[in-house]
């Protein structure tokens, strides 16, 4: 959606391959439904007749949309519905309504910084781990005081709050360790989040693209400027080359910094001072 902000990285190539694969799946949704119903039926011990009725109800919708069907079948499986009536009743007349229901389920119970977290999930142009998201939220929260932490370890409060709120979104995302990129169960889940920003009903939960990009750029710029100032102030006369290298290594551990440099720095060069120290910092990181 915002490809003009990024370059053709291995991640972008993978994204294109996944889009091609998902288009193929969407074009063959009947095969997917048939395969998944058969698999779930085997686990739930549905009769052949029950399977046929479930398939008929799903295929009659002609959704042609992969994500709602996936979520619906996952819901059927996770709830362990046994009776045909339960399964049929949980299939809505309009599969598109699953999107709205899903978003309400995700946003329910989320409190602190949910808008910021959803913003990075919906509009980020590259991979972000949970620690990156936590630090990105910290940077935005620091705007009033400009106290941006460069320490490798954030306040535990930021970690726990971010993880807690990401847990509310496990129907559309997967996240593991702090340093592993958060991934969507399907690319259309990200498209779904971005599309909801156009709905006024959710304007208090998910920012519009223009506002979101301003927020992301602001956070990236604040962190990069902080790092540049930190590097410029290093007392070169008192540090050995090894010590300065160690400082570089510690900077590489700062969450959200690599993301900012890799995906946003090329577009921020005109905004920050173009100094030899800045260029060297980028080169080393």
Residue 211 predicted with pLDDT over 60: yes
pLDDT tens track for 164-199 = 888 877 767 888 777 788 887 666 677 777 777 777
d(CA 58, CA 60): 5
Range of the domain at 71: 3-95
Q: Is residue 24 part of a domain?
A: yes
Do the domain assignments include residue 36?
yes
Average pLDDT over residues 209-229: 80
The CA distance from 91 to 130, in Å, is 33
Largest CA distance in the chain: 81
Q: Does residue 184 lie in a domain region?
A: no
Is the per-residue pLDDT at 268 higher than 60?
no
Q: Is residue 277 part of a domain?
A: no
The reported pTM is 0.59
Is residue 200 a part of any domain in this protein? no
**Number of domain units in the chain:** 1
Higher pLDDT, 25 or 159: 159
More confident: 5 or 283: 283
CA distance 227 to 231: 6
Res. 56 pLDDT band, cuts 50 70 90? confident
pLDDT of 13 strictly over 50: no
222 inside domain: no
Q: How confident is the prediction for the chain on average, in pLDDT? A: 69
The pLDDT tens digits for 88-99 are: 787 766 655 666
61 in a structural domain: yes
Distances in Å between the Cα of 86 and the Cα atoms of 79, 80, 91, 282 are 10, 10, 9, 57
- Concatenating the DSSP letter of every residue in 120-186 gives HHHH-SS--BHHHHHHHHHHHHTTTTT----SSS--HHHHHHHHHHHHTTTTTEE--STTSBPEESS
In a domain, 160, yes or no: no
For residue 102, pLDDT beyond 60: yes
Average pLDDT for 143-160: 63
Highest average pLDDT, of 98-102, 161-165, 184-188, 229-233, comes from 161-165
């Amino acid at each position: 959606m915002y490809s003009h902000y990024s370059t053709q990285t291995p991640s972008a190539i993978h994204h294109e391959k996944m889009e091609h694969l998902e288009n193929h799946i969407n074009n063959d949704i009947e095969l997917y439904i048939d395969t998944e119903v058969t698999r779930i039926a085997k686990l739930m011990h549905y009769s052949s007749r029950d399977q046929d009725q479930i398939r008929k109800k799903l295929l009659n919708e002609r959704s042609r949309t992969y994500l709602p069907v996936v979520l619906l079948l996952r819901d059927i499986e996770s709830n362990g519905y046994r009776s045909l009536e339960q399964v049929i009743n949980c299939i809505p007349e309009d599969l598109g309504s699953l999107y709205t229901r899903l978003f309400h389920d995700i946003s329910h119970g989320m409190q602190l910084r949910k808008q910021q977290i959803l913003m990075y999930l919906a509009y980020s142009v590259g991979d972000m781990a949970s620690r990156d998201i936590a630090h990105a939220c910290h940077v935005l929260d620091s705007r009033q005081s400009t106290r941006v932490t460069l320490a490798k370890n954030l306040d535990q409060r930021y970690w726990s709050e971010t993880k807690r709120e990401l847990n509310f979104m496990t129907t559309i995302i997967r996240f593991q360790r702090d340093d592993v990129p958060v991934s969507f169960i399907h690319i259309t889940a990200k498209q779904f989040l971005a599309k909801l920003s156009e709905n006024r009903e959710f304007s208090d939960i998910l920012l519009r693209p223009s506002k979101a990009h301003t927020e992301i750029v602001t956070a990236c710029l604040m962190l990069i400027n902080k790092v540049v100032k930190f590097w410029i102030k290093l007392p070169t006369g008192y540090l050995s080359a090894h010590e300065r290298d160690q400082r570089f290594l510690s900077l590489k551990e700062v969450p959200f910094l690599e993301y900012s440099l890799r995906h946003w720095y090329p577009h921020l060069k005109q905004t920050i001072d173009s100094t030899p120290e800045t260029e060297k910092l980028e080169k080393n990181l």
